[in-house]
Amino acid sequence: MMSETVKKEEKYDNMMQMIITSPVFENGGSIPKKYTCDGGGINPELQIQNVPDGAKSLALIMHDSDAPRPGGFTHWVVWNINPKTTVIKTESVPSGSVEGINSAGGTNYVAPCPHKGAHRYIFYLYALDAMLDFPAGTPAEPVKKAIEEHLLGKTELMGTYERENKV
């Protein structure tokens, strides 16, 4: 039991090392209109650094906990991203990765589009010790559970967006 606890603690020592950033907005900054429902509705470029040794895959979940629905709104679910990936380009999904069902019922990126006020959109990046054995179109919940079971490290990037008042 003691060695299991130590192993888990060592596993989580890597959590602060991994970094996710974007060249189009700073952490805590405003997501440009181009990447929202008021613009092109495309995903922003994301840059990944310092993936923990031993990672077999990465997973990415974009979530809006400010959405007015129980549990918030999941905008994007992607897993089995190659751990050597350093950039997820604008308007793309990493080669060989798998997309799950978002809160809109699709298997794609859903751009920020808050109905009222500013919302926080968090890109959660997870380093995993395994590839996840789920087909495309799997709902987010089983993917999240598997992420917890295989977690080596995690990091996040938060952007905000507020729509202009429409008259």
Confidence grade of residue 89 (pLDDT, cut at 50, 70, 90): very high
pLDDT for residue 50 is more than 70: yes
CB-based contact 45:24 (threshold 8 Å)? yes
From residue 138, alpha-carbon distances to 43, 97, 101 in Å are 20, 13, 6
pLDDT band at 1 (very low <50, low <70, confident <90, very high): very low
In order of 40, 88, 103, the CA distances from 45 in angstroms are 13, 6, 22
Q: Is residue 166 part of a domain?
A: no
Q: How far is CA 1 from the centre of its chain?
A: 32
Question: Measuring CA to CA, which residue among 100, 117, 118, 93 is closest to residue 28?
Answer: 118
Does the pLDDT at position 5 exceed 70? no
Distance CA 38, CA 106 (A): 19
- pLDDT-above-70 percentage for the chain: 89
pLDDT at 152 over 60: yes
- What whole-number distance in Å separates Cα of residue 73 and Cα of residue 140? 11
* pLDDT the model gives residue 164: 86
Per-residue model confidence as pLDDT tens digits over 76-87: 999 999 999 999
The amino acid sitting at 9 is E
Number of domains the chain is built from: 1
Hey, what amino acid is at 119? H
d(CA 108, CA 9): 34
Q: Pick the more confident residue, 99 or 1.
A: 99
- Confidence check: pLDDT of 2 > 60: no
SS3 131: coil
How would residue 95 be classed by pLDDT, with cut points 50, 70 and 90? Answer: very high
| 42 inside domain | yes
Residue 86 three-state SS: coil
Q: Which domain holds residue 92?
A: 2-161
Q: What's 18's domain CATH number?
A: 3.90.280.10
- Measured distance CA(14)–CA(50) in Å, rounded: 9
In a domain, 140, yes or no: yes
* Residue 166 pLDDT: 55
C-alpha span between 86 and 81 (Å, rounded): 10
Those residues whose C-beta lies under 8 Å from the C-beta of residue 86, and which sit 6 or more positions away, are 47, 48, 49
Q: Give the mean pLDDT of the chain.
A: 91
Does a structural domain hold residue 167?
no
Contact 78, 59 (CB under 8 A): yes
